[in-house]
Structure 1
Amino acid sequence: MGSIEVNEEFSESNFKQIVRRFKKHKLAVAGLIFTLLLFAVALFAPWIAPHDPYLVTGEFSAAPSAEYLLGTDQVGRDVLSRLIYGTQISILVGFVSVAVYVTVGTLIGLASAYFGGWLDMLVMRVTDMFMAFPFMMVILVVVSVLGPSLATIILVLAMFSWPAIARLVRGSVLSLKGMDYVKAGTALGLSASRIMLKHILPNALGPIIVNATFGVAAAIMAESGLSFLGMGVQSPKSSWGNMLTDAQSLSVLTDQPWLWLPPGIMILLTVLAINFVGDGLRDAIDPKE
């Protein structure tokens, strides 16, 4: 029992060191601040948006003005309001889909590595099968069959993203199974679930958190790409991806930049910010890498 307590004290001290190293990564701190601002914008969108994002005005494709700071789209809706509401979609898809597949992948990888044997072999073969699929092509096929919607995108992204986490967790758990505190827990007669969840998993969280951070950026990019292709969030709902759909014509690209620059810049900044956070966490958790 004493070795477990020492391990918990070490984990608390290690956490403080990680926070201190993360603060030294200026881009990561800036990325975290930007991400938190996105959360605030998504949460308070009904109060921040200057207009109803679904309201069709009499001004079609109007240039930016005092009333419409980013102009209006081809239907006459306020671009700024739709951009603000699009933040909700990106945050929801990015974090919910990652939360689902990280939870599923972690539990599968944890059980596979801890119990080993035929279970480990079966899980790894299923994982290999899923990872052999061409990711975007399979997603397009499944979304076209189930029908494009927000729930479908989250489900499909989670369904085909868990194998990478499962393999990552399996590798970490295999290296931790032989540690003294795991052997001590086994000798004390602790249940397998308690050893896995309370003593092994906390020590394997570092790589999981880093991978999940990069996964959020990838999920936001995937949702934007699907919406741009018409297979994601459907109008009149606002998404950064379907806002870019209006930019497919050359005349819009050259004469109406307010229709595609704002959502394009938001996608760029969001993905960069989250990737910076991931870089900072990777360096903070394992500075040797």
Structure 2
Amino acid sequence: MGFLTGVVILAVVVAVALAAGWLFRAMMVAILPAGAGRTLRTAPPAAGFGMLVILLYILVALFAPLIAPFGEREIVGPEFLPWGDTHLLGTDNLGRDMLSRLVYAARNTIGIAFVTTALAFLIGSVLGILAALTGGWLDQLLARAVDVLMAIPALIFALLLLTIVGTSIVNMILVIALIDSTRVFRLARAVSMNIVVMDYMEAARLRGEGTWHLIVREILPNAMAPLVAEFGLRFCFVFLTISALSFLGLGIQPPTADWGAMVRDTATLISFGDVTPLLPAGAIALLTVSVNFVVDWQLHRASGLKE
């Protein structure tokens, strides 16, 4: 009976999510200009649900001070208060309001993950395209250096570097961006290698165009689709890495709110049957799944395949 109940609940949740995605897609098609609306009309309900969740997360992150009932670092009562009218999700191990911490953590975790991913893409894509365009010793030097860095497991490498340089937010962003830029480099180089041999690239070289023009006007527009899809995937990996590091104590440091650290701080409640630790874990999982829904749709569009 319990298994059947779980299956029914899961089916209802999936149906509601798909319905919400379909309604959101229909609403955006009606609101957006004709060109964007035609593109969005091809999105499956799962991608619509993903875009809806991403939009909600962004709104929560932007308006966190208006949504949260208490301050991010404010101690409002005894530790581990149960859910109630004053504290809807109870309090954490220091007596801070869990709902407020969840809301502020959206701003901190998502914002830092986005900045880190953007920096990784800036480094990796520029070096990857430059290596493919230039070739020769520069290409070989960068490719071998990336092979060495990628041979080390990313999480272990991040733990090692953060232990050496310290656990500030700036250091964490730089370390994770450096590690993740190697993956972006491999993709950007592989895509660019197929572009630099095209006839229009040879025509641009014969016109005397410089390296910057070739990168910005010839290579990037033709490599944008896989790079945009990879940005979504990289964001998920960076987001999960930051959460994992925070759970281990080397990520976003207290008292700054972070979902990974919140799981660690409230983990003891699991022993008493309290689901509070599952809330930040669920927030991490929901955003990751939603981004992947959108990325899958973008990859399908970029491949040119038809349903």
What pairs up with 1:247-258 in 2 under 5 angstroms? 247-249=266-268, 252-255=269-272, 257-258=274-275
The count of aligned residue pairs is 272
Q: What 5-or-longer segments of structure 1 have no aligned partner?
A: 1-15
The one-character-per-residue Cα deviations of 1:165-213 (angstroms, maximum 9, x if unpaired) are 1111111111111222222222222212101211111101111111110
Distance 1:48 1:69, change over 3 A: same
The alignment partner of 1:160 has SS state of helix
Aligned to 1:65: 84
Sequence identity (%):
32
Matches of 1:19 and 1:123 in 2, distance apart?
41
From 265, 270, 284, give the equivalent of 2:282.
Answer: 265
Q: Partner of 2:79: helix, strand, or coil?
A: coil
Matches within 5 A, 1:17-28: 20=39, 23-28=42-47
Q: Counterpart amino acid of 2:195? A: L
Which amino acid in 1 is paired with 2:60?
A: V
Say yes or no: does 1:276 pair with 2:273: no
- Normalising to structure 1: TM-score of the pair? 0.89
Structure 1 residue 17: Cα displacement: 9.2
CA distance in 1 between counterparts of 2:276 and 2:255 reads: 15
Matched, 1:163 2:166: no
Higher RCO by CA contacts (8 Å cutoff, separation 6 or greater): 1
Counterpart mapping for 1:145-160 below 5 A: 145-160=164-179
| Contact 1:34/1:273 (8 A) holds in 2 | yes
Which of 86, 98, 121 is 2:105 aligned to? 86
> 1:104 maps to which residue?
123
Q: Distance in 1 between matches of 2:236 and 2:82?
A: 31
1:203-237: CA deviations, max 9, x gaps?
Answer: 01111111110111111111111111111112211
Q: Which amino acid aligns with 2:150?
A: M
Letter in 2 for 1:151: V
Give the drift of 1:265. Answer: 0.9
Q: Which runs of 5+ in 2 are unaligned?
A: 1-34
Contact 1:57–1:77 at 8 Å: present in 2 too? Answer: yes
Q: 2:151 aligns with which of 128, 132, 137?
A: 132
Q: Does the aligned pair in 2 maintain the 1:70–1:258 contact within 8 Å?
A: no
TM-score, structure 2 as length reference: 0.84
CA RMSD across the alignment: 1.9
How do residues 205-220 of structure 1 correspond to structure 2 at under 5 angstroms?
205-220=224-239
Separation in 1, partners of 2:285, 2:225: 26
Aligned with 1:257: secondary structure?
A: coil
